[in-house]
Amino acid sequence: MKSKIKLYILFVLTIFLLSSCGTLTKSKTYAPGQVQLNIDMADLEYLGETKIDVTYRTYLGFIRVIDSVNGEVYDQTNIQEAKLCSQIGSSLLTGPINKATAKLINKYPDATYFQPISQTKIKERLFLGSQVTVKALVKAYKFNAQDFNDK
């Protein structure tokens, strides 16, 4: 009986030690590894850049609750999501940050090309969970209309 109590106390202490608090920050920089379309910057018109972000909490490693998207409280009844895909179909931004990409479409409806410049992930470890903030900087471009008329 005493060994079961000791084992239980040891288990509880192990859980408390493994779920300590801390902060983790990750950053990515995007650069194309292979170019499949020959275009110059002269072929593109720069529209601007936008910062997008999403904040969410994760519990037990798999339960995700989104708190805010682009600085506004997340409304699960009004879901707007877009994916920025490369030429081969892979997504340039992955995870919950895709819920923030609708801001890009609304801000630059004429854009034909979005280029993620950087993505930063800040993870604050909590007891049995974490709070994560993902931020991305995306530039918007459109093709020059005069280039299509000349060719």
Domain hosting 141: range is: 21-150
Residue with tokens 């275009």: 39
User: What total of structural domains would you count in the chain?
Assistant: 1
Alpha-carbon distances of 72 from 57, 106, 150, rounded to whole Å: 15, 15, 44
Kindly state the average pLDDT of the residues 131-142.
92
Q: Residue 57's pLDDT is what?
A: 93
Q: How much is the mean pLDDT over the chain?
A: 81
Q: Single out the residue of 21, 47, 66 nearest to residue 143, CA to CA.
A: 47
Asked if residue 74 belongs to a domain, the reply is: yes
Asked if residue 15 belongs to a domain, the reply is: no
Asked if residue 28 belongs to a domain, the reply is: yes
Please tell me whether the overall predicted TM-score, pTM, comes out greater than 0.85 for this model: no
- Provide the 3-class DSSP secondary structure of residue 77: coil
Asked if residue 145 belongs to a domain, the reply is: yes
Least confident of 51-65, 94-108, 128-142: 94-108
Asked if residue 11 belongs to a domain, the reply is: no
- Provide the 3-class DSSP secondary structure of residue 149: helix
Give the tens place of pLDDT for each residue, 31-70: 666 656 677 778 888 999 999 999 999 998 888 898 999 9
Specify the length of the chain in residues.
Answer: 151
